[in-house]
Structures are given as C-alpha cells and as structure tokens.
Amino acid sequence: MGLVVALLGACGGGGGGLPGLDGGPTDDPYKPVVEFSSTMNRNIDMLFVIDDSGSMQDKQANLANNFPNFINVLNSQEGGLPDIHLGVVSTDMGTSATSGPPGPGIGTIGQGGCASTGKDGVLQTNGAPVTGNFISDVKQTDGSRIKNYTGDLATVFAQMARVGATGCGFEQPLAAMRRALANTTANPGFLRPDALLAVVFLTDEDDCSAKTASLFAAGDTGALGPLNSFRCTRFGVTCAGGGTTSDEMNQVGTKSGCTASSTSSVVESISVFRDFLLGLKSNPRKVVVGGIMGATTPFAVEERQINNMTTIALARSCTYQSANGLEVADPGVRMKAFFDAFPDRSTSTTICQPDLSSGLTQIATLLNRVGGSSCVNSSILADVDASTPGLQPDCIVADTVGITARPIAACGSPETAPCWKLVSDPVKCPAAGNLRLEIVRSEAPAPDTVTTMRCILE
C-alpha cells in the first residue's frame, strides 16, 4: 500500500447534495475530481466534428499540431491509453435539414458553397493510413494492441483532422454529429454499445443546424433577410437584452443574455440533439461532450462588407494572430447551450489562441475522469489547512448505484470501513502528484457501483 497523505476528514458541509449526473447546483463549490465504476470499462468512442469552412485552415493545423498533448493525457490514466475508436466528420451538411428534402444549392461548391447533403456525416480519413474510415486501437489481454492504422496515433489523427477549408459556410456541427452517429451504414462498427461516447467539436462559427430547408431560401428582401449565415443567429439565438425577437436580433448593437432559441421555425432546437445523443446510451453517464469554439461574449450585431456588399452580420467575439495573419471567431452561443445540457459531462474553451494544447488537455482530463480512473491530480486540490503538514483537502465521496447515493466518510485512526483515503501510487497514477483515491471496504461493492469524489479546488 502506498503512503497515506495527511487528510482533513471533511465529509463536506454545504456540498449541495450528493453527486449525480447533474453534479449538483451550478454554485456548488465542490467540483468533480474522480469517478470510477466497480466494473471497469475502458472503451471510448471519440467523434471529432471539425468545421471545414473557409476560415478554418490554421485552426485545423493548430488542432493537429497539439493533438499529442491530448493523447499524452489519455496515456496518463490508470492502465494507459483506453481502447479507442476515433473518427472525424466535417460540419458540411449542405442544405439538408431535419425534415424534408435539401434546399437549393448556394454558391460554388469547393469555395464555401453548399449543396444537397454535403459530406452527409460520413467519417473522413483524408488519405490517412487507416483501414476503414475511423481509427481503432484496442489493448489485448497480453498487453499488445490491435490497430487498424500504420504509424504514430497522433500523426495519423493529424492527417485525418485536416478536413480542408472549402466546405459549406452554413456550418451544421450538431446535425453532422447526429448524422455521423445515426448513419451506421456509412460508418459501420464505429459505435460500440458498451463504450463511453465522447463528441468533440472544433468550430469558429456557431451551430446552424437547419430544422427545415426553408432556412436556405433565396432572396435578400424576404422575411429571412440576406442569404448568409447571419440567418443562423437571427433565427437560432435569442437575447434577453436586445434580441427577444428575430426583428430585434436584426438590429445593429450589443446584445446580452443570449442563448439558443427553442422555438425557431427554421433552426433546430438544441434539445433535439441532446436527446438524440443521450438516447444512444442506456446510461447518461456514458456521454461526454467538449468543444473548442468562439467565445460567447461579447455578442453584437454589426454591418460589414461581405462579398463586396454592406450587410448585417454577427460581430467577431475573439481574435488571435497566427503565422498566416489575423484569425477570428464568432460567439458560439448555441454550441455553449448544447454543452450546458450535459452538466458534469462537458467542457469548452476558446478557439482564439495560437496554441490549442490547453483546450485539448482540458477535454482529455474530463475523459480520464469520466472514463473511470481513481487517480487524482493533487495540484487542483485546495489545501484548506496550510498550518498542518501534508495536503488537507475538503472532499465529498460517495458510492452511487442507479440514482441512490451513499456517502463515504474519510478514514480515521483506526480505519472504519467503508471509508476513503488518498494514497501515493506512482505506478497506477504516474501524472501530477501520483495520488489515488482508495476506498477501504469490508465487502465488495454492488455491481455497477459508481464511486465519485468532489472537492474544493484551487
């Protein structure tokens, strides 16, 4: 047994209840740190939904160059790299919609134009040395791995991630996700029934998943306004300040309190995609979403030149300087609303940074926790009693079976089972402080028990 770290045996006052899928109220000071099941499942199906519109070339390269950091974090979990399926799909869904046939074509294909069903959610390898249309890398009982690709995992993914920058300018990342996961004919074998499902988005514009193809109707003077992607904002987002109606949204100025519209007649509701994703799994704990996107604020409507014409447009929310010049992004309000629909199972960060390693690390860290590791990153735990030697964290630990949660007290001296403690375990937990949550039990936990630890963080 490893060295026991000194603890303040806090079972948590004011923790806002025991942990569950929702992770407690949003103002809960106790944040999820560890989660693992009595029946370990190391299968993760990861879908990357990557914007392939005209402004994305540098951002795709940024993702590809920093993907090794994502893999390094996954490798650091107990047992090393999980058994993965890794697929890539673009946001180009043409002029298709949830209901009805696709709308008329827009512009020139290959130059931001849209037609029919676009890339239709088919997984893309972009010439990478992969057998099939997604990466499969699975560990065997003897420690070897069966792979359907040649070369280094990060290098192969980097090639897959470069989906190009010529796709439809009406990005539909949520519709592309749904199509990719529903189209088992085009993407056979990607989804495994028992696997954790993780969907990661990379986009510099907000979601424009169409409810009906009338969103793409021609005409600059009709009820929808100019045929450009501002329609996605005007009819897909509402703002408590300055944008409660589509007419208000069409007015130049700063907006506040913005979120996804749930009543739009032409842009699909976020709840449709949330329900679809959760419906793929019998246990909602097995769904994780993450995103790298435009900052949600500031949010403003402006007039600017598009195709040599002054027109209404959504103002950029963030910028950064790349080797190729100024890069920009629009506020991802609908995407953020989608992530918020998965409390305790989502994370997002800004795409406006020349190095995406921190965002990728953040997503991989979430996957490690949800995937089931007892390892704790000690650097994120707050020491609530600095006058006492050792780390004194304030944490809540519980076993959950179904919807029933049972708190576990911190171990004292002598130890009375069940109780919890942190031990130093460099072998199983090689990263950060080498700490592992250990539960002292008098009997084995019930099948499908999920043990969670929530702590006050730095």
Cis status, amide bond into 414, omega within 30 of 0: yes
First vs last Cα of the chain: how many Å apart?
28
pLDDT band for position 221 (50/70/90)?
Answer: low
Q: Token pair for residue 170?
A: 């009406």
Cα–Cα separations (whole angstroms), residue 153 to 293, 298, 417: 24, 37, 43
Among the listed residues 257, 259, 94, the one whose alpha carbon sits nearest the alpha carbon of residue 168:
94
Cis status, amide bond into 418, omega within 30 of 0: yes
| pLDDT value of residue 7 | 40
Tell me the whole-structure pTM to 2 decimals: 0.84
Mean pLDDT over each residue of the chain, to the nearest integer: 89
| pLDDT value of residue 132 | 96
Contacts of 444 (CB under 8 A, 6+ apart): 38
pLDDT single digits (tens) 258-308: 999 999 999 999 999 999 999 999 888 889 999 999 999 999 999 998 778
Stretch 120-147: mean pLDDT: 95
Q: Which of 7-21, 298-312, 393-407 has the lowest mean pLDDT?
A: 7-21
Cα 301 to Cα 248: distance, rounded to the nearest angstrom: 10
Cα–Cα separations (whole angstroms), residue 448 to 41, 332, 372, 404, 441: 11, 36, 12, 12, 16
pLDDT band for position 26 (50/70/90)?
Answer: low
Q: Assess whether pLDDT exceeds 50 at residue 247.
A: yes
Cα 294 to Cα 437: distance, rounded to the nearest angstrom: 36
Stretch 427-452: mean pLDDT: 86
pLDDT single digits (tens) 35-85: 887 766 789 999 999 999 999 999 999 999 999 999 998 887 777 899 999
Position 44: which residue type?
A: I
3-state secondary structure of 18: coil
Among the listed residues 360, 421, 289, the one whose alpha carbon sits nearest the alpha carbon of residue 67:
360
For 361, half-sphere exposure in the C-beta direction (CA atoms, 13 angstrom radius) is 10
Q: Token pair for residue 315?
A: 């103002």
Stretch 239-243: mean pLDDT: 97
Stretch 224-237: mean pLDDT: 93
Better pLDDT: 324 or 317: 317
| pLDDT value of residue 41 | 72
Q: Assess whether pLDDT exceeds 80 at residue 22.
A: no
| pLDDT value of residue 371 | 78
Residue by residue, DSSP assigns 331-383 as: --HHHHHHHHTSTTSEEEEES-SS-THHHHHHHHHHHHHHHHB-EE-GGGB--
Cα 204 to Cα 356: distance, rounded to the nearest angstrom: 13
Q: Assess whether pLDDT exceeds 50 at residue 9.
A: no
Q: Assess whether pLDDT exceeds 90 at residue 159.
A: yes
Residue by residue, DSSP assigns 435-453 as: EEEEEE-SSPPPTT-EEEE
CATH of the structural domain 43-372, one choice from 3.40.30.10, 3.90.226.10, 3.40.50.410, 3.40.140.80: 3.40.50.410
* Ranges of each domain in the chain: 31-38+374-455, 43-372
221: left (phi over 0), alpha (psi -120 to 50) or beta: alpha
Q: Which of 95-109, 311-325, 443-457 has the lowest mean pLDDT?
A: 443-457
| pLDDT value of residue 366 | 85
